[in-house]
């Protein structure tokens, strides 16, 4: 009898991470297990307790989820196998019977706070905010009487016996959060023609133009960078590593050459995988040189080296 796959996510039950995980075909017949934190979810994968973990990595309003970026740059390596982009809208969850005038304390994930800051200042200007490990954890704390209300997905109300006092709360319309499905390193998926490649790199020396040298490895090959984040290494002030998302697949010649260029330049490069871009089945229109041009150039150089290329 085949072993049932186990996937974990940033819990408890009722988080946006759980909703995102349930959109993936891998989750259909798998056991889904909530974890108390991003670190706990990834450690479950590292120790073999879970097949994979679905965690947030960036938000269109607040930016990077730094805990996830730092976990991917340290510890036992993990690989991104998929991504999910989920529209995010919050509800104000309260215990039954609670009215707006009763709300004195509010909780939710720190990334949620950044997305409802203006609404909170307008409608609950005197409420005291305290962050929770996740939005669903905030809902659980409201259920247990620790806080008066929590910002979470409206779907979490039923799970925790709460009511949505207000729905569709968001300072910025159309906000989204990107989640990644992480597993242990293995063979990457075949190119889908609409892919993303991720990596973390460390500078050899902090000198003028050091970051430019890294960027040029992508630019001269016509590879579009979709995201770049600097994160402290913990080795002292001014010591940073850089997390990249690039358009394309490591099987593409130009992406492969850029990665090799970074490997030559940097003391450490951590490859995080190539995987299909969420919601895209065809490549974006490119104006930079495509793979055939790189192949044609390589063939030309080979002819030069063996004397077959005429002047």
The residue among 84, 87, 86 whose CA lies nearest residue 24 is 84
Q: Right CATH number for 1-88+176-186 from 1.20.120.1630, 3.30.465.10, 3.40.190.10, 3.20.20.70? A: 3.40.190.10
Specify whether domain 90-169 bears CATH 3.40.190.10. Answer: yes
Chain segment 133-150, per-residue pLDDT in tens: 999 999 999 999 999 999
pLDDT reading at 202 higher than 80: yes
pLDDT of residue 300 exceeding 90, the answer is no
Determine whether domain 188-311 maps to CATH 3.20.20.80. no
Listed by start position, the domains of the chain span 1-88+176-186, 90-169, 188-311
What pLDDT does residue 43 have?
A: 97
**Residue 112: CB partners within 8 Å, gap ≥ 6?**
90, 135, 151, 152
Task: In whole angstroms, give the CA distance from residue 78 to residue 49.
Answer: 14
Lowest mean pLDDT among 185-199, 220-234, 274-288: 274-288
Tell me the whole-structure pTM to 2 decimals. 0.87
Would 1-88+176-186 and 90-169 be classified into the same CATH topology? yes
Give residue for tokens 């005197």: 126
């Amino acid at each position: 009898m085949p072993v049932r796959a186990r996937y974990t996510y940033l819990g408890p039950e009722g988080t946006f991470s759980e909703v995102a995980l349930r959109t993936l075909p891998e989750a259909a017949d798998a056991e889904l297990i909530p974890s108390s934190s991003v670190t706990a979810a990834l450690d479950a994968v590292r120790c073999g307790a879970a097949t994979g973990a679905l965690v947030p990595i960036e938000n269109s309003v607040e930016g990077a989820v730094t805990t996830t970026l730092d976990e991917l740059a340290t510890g036992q390596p993990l690989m991104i196998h998929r991504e999910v982009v989920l529209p995010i809208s919050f509800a104000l969850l309260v215990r039954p019977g609670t009215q707006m005038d009763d709300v004195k304390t509010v909780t939710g994930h720190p990334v949620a706070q950044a997305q409802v800051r203006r609404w909170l200042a307008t409608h609950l200007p005197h409420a005291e905010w305290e962050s929770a490990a996740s939005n669903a954890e905030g809902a659980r704390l409201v259920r247990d009487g620790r806080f008066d209300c929590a910002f979470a997905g409206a779907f979490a109300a039923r799970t925790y016996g709460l009511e949505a006092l207000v729905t569709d709360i968001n300072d910025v319309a159309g906000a989204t959060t990107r989640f990644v499905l992480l597993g242990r390193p293995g063979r990457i998926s075949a190119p889908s023609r609409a892919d993303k490649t991720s990596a973390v790199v460390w500078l050899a020396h902090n000198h003028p133009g050091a970051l430019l040298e890294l960027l040029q490895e992508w630019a001269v090959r016509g590879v579009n960078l979709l995201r770049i984040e600097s994160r402290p290494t913990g080795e002292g002030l001014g010591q940073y590593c850089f997390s990249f998302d690039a358009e394309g697949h490591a099987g593409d010649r130009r992406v492969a050459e850029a990665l090799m260029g970074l490997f030559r330049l940097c003391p450490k490069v951590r490859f995080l995988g190539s995987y299909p871009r969420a919601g895209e089945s065809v490549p974006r229109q490119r104006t930079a040189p495509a793979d055939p041009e790189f192949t044609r150039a390589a063939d030309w150089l080979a002819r030069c080296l063996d004397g077959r290329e005429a002047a």
